[in-house]
Chain A
Amino acid sequence: MDMRTTYMGMKLKHPIIASASPLSEEVDNIKRMEDAGASAVVMFSLFEEQLRHESAALEHFMSYGTNSYAEALSYFPAVEEYHAGPERYLDILRRASESVDIPIIGSLNGITDEGWIDYAKNMEQAGARGIELNIYYIPADINISGQEVERRYVDIAKHVKASVSIPVAFKLSAYFSSVGHLAKQLDEAGVDALVLFNRFWQPDFDIEQREIVHSLDLSRSGQIRLRLLWIALLYGRVKASLGATTGVYSHVEVVKYLMAGADAVMTTSALLKHGISFLTTLHDQLKQWMQENEYGSVAQMKGSMSQQHVANPTAYERANYIKILESYKSTYAL
């Protein structure tokens, strides 16, 4: 059974990758992911904005109240150096890269050009085998056009590609007028993989306290459909590898993503829910399913249900939508 795949130019022993999550904040966990059979690990995201905020906040709290009162000219021991920049992230990345054999992919969320470029370089130097750009941008300013947003995405991709020699993946959201066109532009900009899709934080309300609630629910398996759609549509149309993320709770979703055309399938929520050892389960389930269904390799399965390969390509387009509605009628109409 050949479960190997190629993702971002990297040869992986199978397509199941542990994606960005708080679990990778500890090197021990990354080792456990390798032991559990992950073919690669995407680190938790380094948020430039957070680093900037932390740097300013740390300086504020370290100096707050200093040189104000004769008896207490400071409140903390003098610390010549502390990590308010990417050091902690890079340190984990470095230690993880040194202690495991599987590829470690850095994940970066920047806000400035220099942030994207500098931190990407830092990650490369720290031993990252690839970088996933995790863009988290909500154009809350209603004066910004969709074109401007897309241009910003493409510029970032170009800048980072030009500054590092390791492969670069681009994780994008589904909220574009033409996801396919953006994917094409990014592909042309040279990105090595497209990861579909990230999940934006969306506000919720506590109606008793009348407050915005900050929380992120775990993904659900039902959320894979939008991803299936676009992976299936993009398969064969872009040079970049395709990564699938969100909603992977069993081999079923893995198989579906692969059939749609994904080169790699990522999982986070399942690991948060079931623990890191679930990677082994997932791998074994996939292997067993392939055996039961007499697949000899992942390559054989990959893209088999893509738009290019299905019997009815229009099933992925609007006609399909109408058909579903009709089927509802037939089932539930009196």
Chain B
Amino acid sequence: MTTQHIIFDGNEAAAYVAYKTNEVCAIYPITPSSTMGELADQWTTEGRKNIWDNVPVVVEMQSEGGAAGAVHGALQTGALSTTFTASQGLLLMIPNMYKIAGELTSTVFHVAARSLATQGLSIFGDHSDVMAVRSTGFALLASGSVQEAHDLALVAQATTLEARIPFVHFFDGFRTSHEVNKITLLSDDDIMAMIPDDLVLAHRARGLNPDHPFIRGTAQNPDVYFQGRETVNSFYRDTPGIVQAKMDQFTSLTGRRYSLFEYHGHPEAERVIVIMGSGAETVRETVDFLQQSGDKVGVAQVRLYRPFSAEHFMQVLPATTKAIAVLDRSKDPAANGEPLYVDVVTALSEALSDGNLPWAALPRVVGGRYGLSSKEFTPAMVKGIYEELSNSAPKNHFTIGIQDDLTHTSLDYDPEFVIEPDTTVRAMFFGLGADGTVSANKNSIKIIGEDPRFYAQGYFVYDSKKSGSQTVSHLRFGPEPIRSTYLVQSANFIGCHQFNFLESADVLARAAPGATFLLNSPHGPDKVWETLPRVVQQQIIDKQLSLYVIDAYKVARDAGMGTRINTIMQTCFFAVSNVLPRDEAIAKIKDTIRKTYLKKGEEVVRKNFQAVDETLANLHAVTIPTQAASSITRREIVPANAPDFVRNVTALMMDGRGDELPVSMLPNDGTYPSGTAAWEKRNISMFVPVWEPDICIQCGNCGLVCPHSVIRSKFYDKSSLKSAPSSFKSAALSGRGFPDVYYTLQVYVEDCTGCTLCVEVCPAKSKEKSGVKAINMRPKDPDLEPERNNIAFFQDLPDNDRGRIDFSTVRGVQYLQPLFEFSGACAGCGETPYLKLLSQLFGDRLLIANATGCSSIYGGNLPTTPWAVNQEGRGPVWSNSLFEDNAEFGLGFQLTAEKHRAVAYQLLQEMRSTLGADFVDDILSATQDEESEIRAQRARVNELKQRLDKLNDETATRLLSLADQLVRRSVWLVGGDGWAYDIGAGGLDHVLSMDRDVNVLVLDTEVYSNTGGQMSKSTPLAAVAKFAVGGKIVGKKDLALQAISYGHVYVARVALGANPQQTLLAFREAETFKGPSLILAYSPCIAHGINMEHGLRQQKLAVESGYWPLMRYNPDLRRDERNPFMLDSPRPTIPLKDYAYKELRYDILRRTNPDQADLLMKLAQENVNLKWRVYEEMATRGDPQYHFAKPN
């Protein structure tokens, strides 16, 4: 049989084997493992079969705990079952893992190992999660590369069936899970040879079966539990041997050799690194290099970490070993060493103790931490560790790759040490997410990797913003397999796909001397040089780079491809890099285009072909002058007046230099300042809204819908305009009685994402030109400088007095300062307008518990965050605990508020005589529903604090610490539907069942948006999502009715784009309602497959079709014996399909399976009809039906 090579990433490599060797798969999406489950689901849809010629079952559960439970059940009934997870997901599986292992159940969990949430969440890779399950009884098998992830997935599966010990097979999140590499594909024959039928049948026979009844899962008493635990010892003793035997069998089948511990390096090495995971690849590469200069160094790569076979470990260490560094990609802050280090020390100590030490003396052993959260781990660091081991007293418990200036754990190393071989092409591409750079590079890797002469590797770095995000692609091509598990350090090709990056990023920092530099430039070959920043010019000259330019956007526009320049830049890469002969490469690009797009419509093929054909004519070499003469400098990251933390810490992160920050500069408990997004002027849109004061009717709609808080309004006295810049726009405030009051609507142009929702919603049109509204998109650059001055002037205008503002109207709300601003959410995000509104209405007394998801990422992902502070120094406090616990977490906020308020009341009473009875009574009896009442109470509390401050009294001090609680706090539990409908549903239900004053805001996108569009229980019938490829066949859970069933919960369903006034009313009612409140907010999302500028229209259509009936259920009315259920939208006026088929999530099914689409749409329409009838019936019930016995 011929060997088949294929381009896979680590996730696909592992999932491929898991799918082939299992019958049941239960998963839950979590980065970076989501892809494995998605692929498995996709393959079932395609009818792909496992090695037993049947299509496995793949189910998406409500949480990882649920997935583990389902896997456990499937295993217990004899099915071969698996799951894929990472990080907190693995932690949620722990209870089941103990059970599964305790019952000696054969399974493999495939884990893309990821950091755990500690002082902050991180989606990136390290071993914190797998280390947290090392006591569950699961075996832990580590893969260090994409090929290994493929191969060891099979070894794990083969072993578990024989050994009966369940396995976690893990590989490094992102570094391996997302690295694409050329690997050798396992054949079905090889897989079948490793999975003998008798073991499969034995597994099946152990399953629960009423025809051979027994019970498993008893409760045991002190008399036998202990002994029962000891029954499994022999299985753990035997497992390493079985693993090795399976590895040997694997070698005989494939030629690829693996062992439990694999030594690589000098046979007489004196210094040895012990490591597992992808870092081992880098150490091996470095060892090979260092050996060339005579260094006696080696590396012992750990593959089977649990059960840890000290015997096998000791066998691989050279007899000459004098010093060992054990590297852990995790941190165990309270232990006397990280896990692998402790295991190695224990192994050596036991050998010494038992008299089995193969050396005359115990080698010196030190432990070190590296690579947490995908921190780079480079040959330079490896060399630094070996150098440290040369010292007579090497540092123990060291760190490498960071600068620890606080506890001085870090080792020094020479970052200039680079060992990338010249035989490998190293290419870096700087692009935007939206320009398709990464897609094109993945494509190039396939094209080159399919050539038998080449191996290929790709790794992609994304930034943390969802709009205007930058990507950096690191590609390597060469004649040998590529094992460098670190970013390209010395690139001989650099592609910069966005001209403006040259001003904001050091694009050429990693350019090798003589490298080729391809630049997408609006300036032609004759003009481009003078438009480059001086530092770039100097780098080009110093490094003797060849420069090529193309105006890719022009070529794309001409080909009708909009801003997708991917094919064009890819063609340029092949044209100037000479990786493949030019004509051959272009033929392959076209072939790929044809394969990719032909089944998706000829038009896309045609446009791409046109783009390829026109590229070469527009690609030009640039003659490089001998001297840099440009006066253009890179712009400052943040202005000089930014706070110290922003200048010293945040700015470095913004500049892509966060790696340089030493430990001492970072907060030690995860606390960061609010409002840092305001310092990051991202300038991601070339077009921004421009206000027309003469047309504007000052309605406030544009500001209300703006997802990025870019549009602000203030009114002010006319006299303020005396010092205004000449470009500052204003208009007399509309409305009678304010002759000298003026109004300005200011656009923060540098923060705009160009979504155009403001223009869409604007109701005011020019009488002369119907296409011109009161706000219109215009090119930004001409007005940028004047607008900066205007913004500065606008910011200095006093904020409008919240006591004078009408909170009940959209027109009034526009004057409330948003305390949620400039987030990194997608352009046109449907969620953020709700959060902004929340911050405007209640921001100065707002506490937010935010479930993990999109809102926690755009709300709290460094470097800059959007929750801000007002001129009084007050603002929302925000925290994210986990995904699953947010309702409980937020409830805790409220419990504190209630408790501290009660204590404050008690202390006030105690100090009654000191403070004055009237004053105390005023505070205690104050109503705090309306803003004016809140402000009055705030004044009283300020007065109280001043009085307390003057008292030298213990009670006064205690009261002073709680006085702020006397102003009613507004506790909001915020999250998406993945939280509220699925993983957090149990907690949310419980919190709603309690009569506590919490407010829940569900930003309902009807899909897992943050992890890429997986189905939730909120996903509607007939819509397509991941795990519902054939369209969701059951209806969405009606969370409103579920909450209403309690009777005491305020419930509202809102859609800002359909009825902003109803949204506003619901927010205010929910907040003042003294009990639990639930608001379900329709949130358009790019996962709906819509042009986001139509998000508001879609909300209207959703309401008009009856799919999203606007309603409020107010228990206060019920207490007054009135019908609490209010239907706020009229009867459906359009069929569901008129709304749904404007969204790709529905429409795509018509194009893949029209019959199914027709069927599901009919069912969905019936669902809508039925639901409407229920709602209408509830809304029209007579008041007498609500005559309840009133609660005490």
**Residues of A near any B CB (own CB < 8 A):** 26, 51-56, 58-85, 88, 91, 209-211
Q: Smallest Cβ distance from A326 to chain B, in angstroms?
A: 43
Give Cα distance in the complex from A214 to B1025, angstroms.
32
In this complex, the member of A52, A56, A67 whose beta carbon has the largest number of chain B beta carbons within 10 angstroms is: A67
B673 at the interface (CB under 8 A from A): no
Q: Assess the A61–B31 pair: CB atoms within 8 A.
A: no
Give Cα distance in the complex from A117 to B1091, angstroms.
32
Give Cα distance in the complex from A73 to B464, angstroms.
13
Query: Interface code B1069-1102, partner A: CB below 8 Å = 1, 0 otherwise?
Result: 0000000000000000011011100000000000
Q: Assess the B601–A77 pair: CB atoms within 8 A.
A: no
Q: Assess the A59–B601 pair: CB atoms within 8 A.
A: yes
Q: Assess the A56–B603 pair: CB atoms within 8 A.
A: yes
Query: Interface code B1006-1036, partner A: CB below 8 Å = 1, 0 otherwise?
Result: 0001111100000000001111010000000
Given contacts A68-B462, A74-B1012, A88-B1150, contact A51 B45 (CB under 8 A): no
Count contacts between A and B, CB distance < 8 Å: 148
Q: Assess the B41–A77 pair: CB atoms within 8 A.
A: yes
Q: Assess the B433–A65 pair: CB atoms within 8 A.
A: yes
Given contacts A63-B436, A82-B1151, contact A70 B31 (CB under 8 A): yes
Give Cα distance in the complex from A51 to B600, angstroms.
11
Give Cα distance in the complex from A37 to B1010, angstroms.
55
Q: Smallest Cβ distance from A15 to chain B, in angstroms?
A: 32
B109 at the interface (CB under 8 A from A): no
Given contacts A69-B469, A70-B123, A71-B1011, contact A84 B1086 (CB under 8 A): no
Closest to B1145 in A: A76
Which chain A residues border B562 with CB–CB below 8 Å? Answer: 60
Q: Smallest Cβ distance from A288 to chain B, in angstroms?
A: 37
Give Cα distance in the complex from A251 to B1157, angstroms.
38
Complex A-B: 17 CB contacts under 8 Å: A56-B607, A58-B1151, A62-B600, A63-B436, A65-B466, A65-B1087, A68-B469, A69-B433, A72-B1013, A73-B35, A73-B1012, A79-B1148, A82-B599, A82-B1148, A85-B601, A88-B1150, A210-B770
Query: Interface code B93-131, partner A: CB below 8 Å = 1, 0 otherwise?
Result: 000000000000000000000000000000100000000
Give Cα distance in the complex from A210 to B1151, angstroms.
36
Q: Smallest Cβ distance from B631 to chain A, in angstroms?
A: 34
Q: Assess the B1148–A75 pair: CB atoms within 8 A.
A: no
Please tell me which one of the listed residues B35, B433, B770 contacts residue A67 in the complex, with CB atoms under 8 A apart.
Answer: B433
Give Cα distance in the complex from A160 to B42, angstroms.
41
Please tell me which one of the listed residues A52, A74, A82, A210 contacts residue B600 in the complex, with CB atoms under 8 A apart.
Answer: A82
B332 at the interface (CB under 8 A from A): no
**Residues of B near any A CB (own CB < 8 A):** 31-32, 34-35, 38, 41-42, 45-46, 123, 174, 178, 432-434, 436-439, 442, 460, 462, 464-466, 469, 471, 560, 562, 597, 599-604, 607, 765, 770, 826, 857, 1009-1013, 1024-1027, 1029, 1086-1087, 1089-1091, 1144-1145, 1148, 1150-1152, 1154, 1158
Which chain B residues border A66 with CB–CB below 8 Å? Answer: 439
Q: Smallest Cβ distance from A132 to chain B, in angstroms?
A: 23
Please tell me which one of the listed residues A68, A76, A81 contacts residue B1089 in the complex, with CB atoms under 8 A apart.
Answer: A76
Q: Smallest Cβ distance from A11 to chain B, in angstroms?
A: 33
Interface SS majority for chain A: loop
Give Cα distance in the complex from A64 to B1013, angstroms.
12
Which chain A residues border B603 with CB–CB below 8 Å? Answer: 51-53, 55-56, 84
Closest to A67 in B: B438
Given contacts A70-B462, A210-B765, contact A59 B1152 (CB under 8 A): no
Q: Smallest Cβ distance from A94 to chain B, in angstroms?
A: 12
Given contacts A68-B433, A71-B123, A76-B1013, contact A81 B1152 (CB under 8 A): yes
Closest to A73 in B: B1012
Which chain B residues border A209 with CB–CB below 8 Å? Answer: 765
Q: Smallest Cβ distance from A330 to chain B, in angstroms?
A: 46
Q: Smallest Cβ distance from A172 to chain B, in angstroms?
A: 27
Give Cα distance in the complex from A58 to B1149, angstroms.
12
Q: Assess the A81–B600 pair: CB atoms within 8 A.
A: yes
Given contacts A56-B607, A65-B433, contact A71 B857 (CB under 8 A): yes
Closest to B1144 in A: A61
Q: Assess the B604–A56 pair: CB atoms within 8 A.
A: yes
Given contacts A59-B604, A88-B1151, contact A70 B765 (CB under 8 A): no
Give Cα distance in the complex from A78 to B1012, angstroms.
12
Q: Assess the A56–B1010 pair: CB atoms within 8 A.
A: no
Q: Smallest Cβ distance from A152 to chain B, in angstroms?
A: 21
Which chain A residues border B436 with CB–CB below 8 Å? Answer: 63, 67
Q: Smallest Cβ distance from A220 to chain B, in angstroms?
A: 25
Please tell me which one of the listed residues B35, B601, B770 contacts residue A51 in the complex, with CB atoms under 8 A apart.
Answer: B601
Give Cα distance in the complex from A188 to B945, angstroms.
98
Given contacts A51-B601, A69-B469, A71-B1012, contact A76 B1026 (CB under 8 A): yes
Q: Smallest Cβ distance from B52 to chain A, in angstroms?
A: 24
Which chain B residues border A51 with CB–CB below 8 Å? Answer: 601, 603
Give Cα distance in the complex from A76 to B602, angstroms.
21
Q: Assess the A77–B602 pair: CB atoms within 8 A.
A: no
Closest 10 CB pairs of A and B: A68-B433, A55-B601, A72-B1012, A84-B601, A67-B438, A55-B603, A210-B770, A81-B599, A82-B1151, A75-B1013
